[in-house]
Amino acid sequence: MALNVLVVDDSAVMRKMIVRTLRLSGLPLGDVFEAGNGQEGLDALRDHWVDLALVDINMPVMNGEEMIDRVRQNPETADLTVIVVSTDSSETRIEMLQKKGAGFVHKPFTPEGLRETISHLTGVTHAEQAGEGALPGSSPDF
Confidence bin at 141 (pLDDT 50/70/90): very low
Taking the domains of the chain in order of start, what are their residue ranges? Answer: 3-122
The pTM (predicted TM-score) of the whole model is 0.85
Cα–Cα distance for residue pair 71/52, rounded to 1 Å: 12
Q: Which residue has the higher pLDDT, 141 or 26?
A: 26
Determine the average pLDDT of the residues in 4-15: 95
| pLDDT-based confidence at residue 39 (cuts at 50, 70, 90) | very high
User: Is the pLDDT confidence value at 128 over 50?
Assistant: no
Share of the chain above pLDDT 70, in %: 88
Q: What is the pLDDT of residues 89-99, one digit of tens each?
A: 788 888 888 89
Confidence (pLDDT) at 70: 96
Q: Which of 27, 36, 31, 40 is nearest to 114 (CA)?
A: 27
- Give the Å distances, CA to CA, from 77 to 49, 72, 80, 142: 10, 6, 5, 28
Half-sphere exposure of 40 (CA within 13 A, CB side): 15
Write the CATH number of the domain with boundaries 3-122.
Answer: 3.40.50.2300
